[in-house]
A and B are shown apart, each in its own frame.
Chain A
Amino acid sequence: MFTEDLMTPSAPVPLPVDILRFNTCGSVDDGKSTLIGRLLYDSKSLMEDQIEALERSADITGGGQINLANLTDGLRAEREQGITIDVAYRYFATPRRKFIIADTPGHVQYTRNMVTGAATANLAIILVDARTGVIEQSRRHTAIAAMLRIPHLVVAINKMDLVGWSEQRFLAIRAEFEEFLPRLDIKDVKFIPMSALNGDNVVDASTHTPWYQGPTLLGHLETVHIASDWNLQGFRFPVQWVNRPNNPTNPELHDFRGFSGQIAGGIVRTGQKVLALPAGVVTTVKEIWTYDGPVQEAFCPQSVTIVLEHDIDVSRGSMLIGSDYLPGSSSDLQAEICWMHPRALQRGKKYFLKHTTHTVQVIVTELVSKLNLASLESERDPAELGLNDIGEIRLHSAKPLVFDGYSTNRLTGSFILIEPGTNATVGAGMLLPPRELVCSENGDYVI
């Protein structure tokens, strides 16, 4: 009976249990798009019409050879120039996991897109051309991955076929990385020798690397332990939308006033005391609503609607917090920032800052330092931060922010800066841990 089951060709694949989000970064021609094409092709995630389309374009542009990069380079300009311009997202599943890939371009003026693709990743793949070894882009991408606190890193040493599958070359590049890795806060790094073009060590183990005992790339992606990205300590609930039914047919809903949002940290239970900020009032969670019925308990990152015991001043941009693990609250902010716009960041400039569901005006009060990507050392008091620069800054906001350090909570520790007028998103910020916490001992908070 068991074997019969196995032989049924149309037996549905059991539901994968989790999603691994990863991104690929490297310089132009390191073979990122080829690697993704290879992963999809060898894991049989490509469909016949996609392969046909590849073959069609191969006849026209590739002299008959299939170009796996054409799978991800979706824009005409990308295919013409043979480069990836914007983040492309790809999806595939194996019986073990579902994967979301962000293919992030390595071309220097598009580094901002790496931040876009990598911010929510569980794992980053840094591609290195075995012939050239570590270049500034490799350091930059590794530094960004570290700054974004991506928990896992894979250094894919690609084009090994072009260096004769030399173990010595592999070890030399690994040593180059290990020289600067200690300066960055990265815990888990794996080095894999491969040829994306030929498929060695991507899905199938290579016969050319008897000296390499580790997993293939897909093997690693399928098994790497994704420690929960979600912070379950310290309840944080940024209010997105006040839920007040208009003329409900159900009379019980006439006085309904709930607060809808996505839990950004911790766990909430009915009956629990919460502090509403900036109102500064303590109240109790009366009900937790979902479309599928009321629940007693909800956790990060679930989306729920919370009804409070008291009628207090709470609206979009307010935050409900638990009384353990208090956040910070301040108008003076210190943050690491990745600058993503050609108009440089300078002292005295004003921006809109979006943090959780709250947008406030800020002024840049100080440029503390700029990261030198060649040495990975900080330079003090830079004149400005230009496109792709990473640095540390101080800001003053028109209203206080309720926040955590980014290292504690990605969702309540991150922000974007928006340029007034153009509305361009110009910076991605990661708040340093607060110096002063919200004070809950204060009797003022109790209703």
Chain B
Amino acid sequence: MTSYHLDHLQYLETEAIHIMREVAGEFERPALLFSGGKDSICLLRLAEKAFCPSDLPMPLLNVDTGHHFPELNEFRDRRAKQLGAKLIIRTVEDAIAKSIAQPSPGEISRNRLQIPTLLAAIEEFRFDCCIGGARRDEEKARAKERFFSFRDSFGQWDPKNQRPEIWNLYNGRLNPGENMRVFPLSNWTEMDVWEYIQRENLEVPSIYFSHNRRCVRRAGQWLPVNDLVPPKANEDVRDLVVRVRTIGDIISTGCVESPATTVSDIITEIAAARVTERGSRADDKSSEAAMEDRKKAGYF
């Protein structure tokens, strides 16, 4: 080690570890949001790096919409067990049963209903800080997000009144009932995430790799055929070789046709990609401000 130079992944890594440790140092009851998706997989490795040789000083939290890909949940549970981490799961199903979340008539998507479920979990465990894997390059409302994102006692984000964030000095002070969301991967791009997965040799759920799947064509995308929204008679249904680029709920995650079977294939594919990652998420396409509105309501 003579050059005293960090490459871009090492730089992003030390920035993220510093943020994780600030959370452990400044908050009493933090949690780490872990879905089993690629971003939270990186987050978990960064947490291991930040706190080793100690165990993670915080539990993992996941809001299960009930519409997750089964491969994702299997991976989530297995990974938490490997680390000996405490995994807290709160389900939208349960939140509906307890009248915490109310579906509007005919509403199938669980996207909106995740928000009250998450806020109820924060209240139940009195979490003062949730670490999430959101990245600024994902979406333009997220591009305005701070590393330490303050939420008022309703869980709301106020984009016009964010705390200035200067150097590496994060203001984590809260009054009772208020809450912080912290995003250590803010400066990472989709490419950085995959390069890090490759460098760290991290396992990811199988659906990120090419597999056979029956898909239905809807709104310009190939959605996985599922029982929740079965194909109608006039819809185009095909058996395709696909992978997912970003994982949301099974009813809104578009599959992309791809032969990528390794992380290295995925990196090559992204380098040549002509659409963004979120381009395959129907939940973001509903309007130009879809993400901003959800974040204001308490989405992470």
Contact = CB atoms under 8 A, between A and B. Distances in A.
Given A75-B141, A295-B1, A303-B18, A18 B7 contact: yes
Interface stretch (B99-107, B162-170, B206-214): B162-170
Contact of B276 (A50, A241, A260, A352): A50
A89 interface: yes
Nearest to A422: B175
B24 to A, nearest CB: 5
A91 B14 contact: no
A246 interface: yes
Contacts of A355: 169
Contact of A48 (B10, B141, B274): B274
A82 interface: no
Interface in B18-61: 18, 21-22, 24-25, 48-55
Nearest to A261: B21
B155 to A, nearest CB: 17
Contact of A91 (B52, B136, B273, B278): B136
Contacts of A248: 53-54
Contacts of A241: 21, 24-25, 51
Interface in A41-80: 47-50, 53, 56-57, 71-77, 79
A49 B4 contact: no
A290 B49 contact: yes
**Contact size range, A:** 35 or more
Contacts of B171: 354, 416, 418, 423, 425
Nearest to A423: B173
B271 A10 contact: yes
Given A86-B160, A260-B50, A261-B21, A418 B173 contact: yes
A201 interface: no
Nearest to B150: A423
Nearest to B159: A75
B271 A85 contact: no
B153 interface: no
Contact of B166 (A48, A267, A428): A428
Contacts of A410: 167
Contacts of B275: 47-49
A424 interface: yes
Nearest to B4: A299
A340 B164 contact: yes
Contacts of B4: 228, 232, 267, 299
A352 B137 CA distance: 33
Interface string A411-434: 100111010000111001000000
B273 A303 contact: no
A316 interface: yes
A48 B140 CA distance: 15
A70 to B, nearest CB: 9
Given A90-B143, A302-B6, A13 B271 contact: yes
A56 B21 CA distance: 43
Residue of A73, A89, A292, A418 most packed against chain B (CB within 10 A):
A89
Interface string B240-266: 000000000000000000000000000
Interface stretch (A109-117, A123-131, A150-158): A109-117
B167 A120 contact: yes
A323 interface: no
B226 interface: no
A12 B136 contact: no
A6 to B, nearest CB: 15
Contacts of A96: none
Contacts, number: 195
Nearest to B270: A12
A104 B54 CA distance: 39
Interface string B278-295: 110000000011001000
B183 to A, nearest CB: 11
Contacts of A100: 187
Nearest to A421: B175
A53 B288 contact: yes
Contacts of B186: 89
B63 interface: no
A400 interface: no
B53 A89 contact: no
A249 to B, nearest CB: 9
A272 B283 CA distance: 55
B292 A262 contact: no
Contact of B279 (A47, A57, A267): A47
Nearest to A9: B272
B143 A303 contact: no
B187 A260 contact: no
Nearest to B190: A91
B54 A243 contact: yes
Nearest to A118: B166
Given A116-B166, A241-B24, A88 B144 contact: yes
Contacts of B232: none
Contact of A76 (B52, B272, B279, B289): B289
Contacts of B166: 115-116, 119, 414, 416, 425, 428
Interface string A3-15: 0000001111101
B254 to A, nearest CB: 11
In order of increasing CB-CB distance, the 4 nearest A-B pairs are: A74-B140, A49-B279, A291-B49, A303-B17
29 contacts: A18-B7, A18-B8, A19-B11, A72-B140, A72-B143, A74-B140, A77-B160, A86-B144, A88-B140, A89-B187, A116-B165, A119-B167, A120-B168, A228-B4, A240-B18, A240-B24, A243-B54, A246-B55, A262-B14, A262-B21, A291-B48, A291-B52, A292-B49, A301-B14, A303-B13, A357-B22, A411-B168, A414-B167, A428-B164
Interface of B: 1, 4-8, 10-11, 13-15, 17-18, 21-22, 24-25, 48-55, 136-137, 139-144, 159-160, 162-169, 171, 173-175, 186-187, 189, 191, 195, 267-269, 271-276, 278-279, 288-289, 292
Given A357-B22, A411-B168, 6 more contacts: A11-B268, A12-B271, A86-B162, A89-B187, A302-B6, A414-B169
